[in-house]
Amino acid sequence: MRLYTHPACLRHDPGTGHPESPARLRAVLEALDDPRFAQLDRVEAPRVTREQLLRVHEPAYVEYVYANAPQNGSLRLDPDTVMSPASLEAAERAAGAVCAAVDAVMGNETTRAFCAVRPPGHHATPNAAMGFCIFNGIAAGAAHALEAHGLERVAILDPDVHHGNGTQDIFRREPRVLYLSSHQMPLYPGTGARNERGVGNIVNVPLPPQSGSHEFRAAWDDTLFPALDDFRPQLLLVSAGFDAHRLDPLAQLQVEAEDYAWITRRLCELANRYAQGRVVSVLEGGYSLEALRECAAAHVAALL
């Protein structure tokens, strides 16, 4: 199994006190720096290509980000999303990691991959940064699987506590991509109602605040995994946000690290059944350092 990361992802600095801090990725990498993860094949994440980005983002948006990325100081892309001088490279490496991981699993170089990168991506829409996200890496990875590898069915599983509005928006008319999300509602960004179905390729299960292990597992067992069974994906991509954990300061679900281990084991079984075991997971949210350490270790241990 591969672990994709890059030092640039640690240098992206949205500012003092911002919840999406470099300490998040440090916590994840520290948790994976343990003898039980010695067999991880550690790979430097490449930069995303312009072609890969333009499959999911509008040219004017991509040009705006490249033309205005700050050399010094900072640039605010939306009320929550700030670029520092290292941010463009971090965003390129974060999205590039997912595309490279897709190449690796499709080329049978490995079966599973985890991309320990930031900034996250699932709120980034075709034409805008949103919610700490600059480029939508998981969407770029899914589009890369369709266009560069000719896949016909790619599933994106998104257990991040926030709805992945950007990913949904990018694929809402794309029947080759199934988007599955459990998320707290009401909560940022406000999308993800059950009646948002795309062309039948989107399944949302909103959960009320204070929902815990039982409700989280029921959402996946009763609704989301059955939809995945019907779809029979050739590749599984995971928006691994660990902010549904009970310690997370930005949300109010009561999910435990063991629930992340559980969902990972279940999705690996489904990947083995339909997708020759192929799973590419990418870090999204998670704002408690303690929860990040615990959940990332549980997730990667289950992938292994």
As annotated, the active-site residues are 123
Cβ–Cβ under 8 Å, residues 178 and 228: yes
Instruction: State the greatest distance between any 2 C-alpha atoms of the chain, in Å, as a whole number.
Output: 50
Q: Which two tokens stand for residue 201?
A: 């390729």
What's the min distance (Å) between Cβ of 88 and Zn ion? 22
What's the min distance (Å) between Cβ of 59 and Zn ion? 28
Q: How far apart are CA 296 and CA 199, in angstroms?
A: 33
What's the min distance (Å) between Cβ of 118 and Zn ion? 12
Nearer to Zn ion, 162 or 293 (CB): 162
- The DSSP line for the chain is -EEEE-THHHH----TT-SS-HHHHHHHHHHH-SGGGTT-EEEEPPPPPHHHHHTTS-HHHHHHHHHH--SSS-EEEETTEEE-TTHHHHHHHHHHHHHHHHHHHHTTS-SEEEE--SS--TT-BTTB-BTTBSS-HHHHHHHHHHHTT--S-EEEEE-SSS--HHHHHHHTT-TTEEEEEEEESS-TT----TT--TTTTEEEEEE-TT-BHHHHHHIIIIIIHHHHHHH--SEEEEEE--TTBTT-TT---BB-HHHHHHHHHHHHHHHHHHSTT-EEEEE-----HHHHHHHHHHHHHHH-
Identify the bridge partners of residue 155 per DSSP, sorted by sequence position: 178, 236
Nearer to Zn ion, 57 or 162 (CB): 162
Residue ranges binding Zn ion (CB under 5 A)? 160, 162, 241, 243, 285
Nearer to Zn ion, 111 or 165 (CB): 165
What's the min distance (Å) between Cβ of 167 and Zn ion? 12
What's the min distance (Å) between Cβ of 188 and Zn ion? 8
Question: How many Å separate Cα 82 from the centre of its chain?
Answer: 19
Nearer to Zn ion, 103 or 160 (CB): 160
Cα torsion 97, 16, 167, 301: sign: positive
Nearer to Zn ion, 14 or 241 (CB): 241
Shortest Cβ contact with Zn ion: which residue? 285
Nearer to Zn ion, 231 or 287 (CB): 287
What's the min distance (Å) between Cβ of 265 and Zn ion? 22
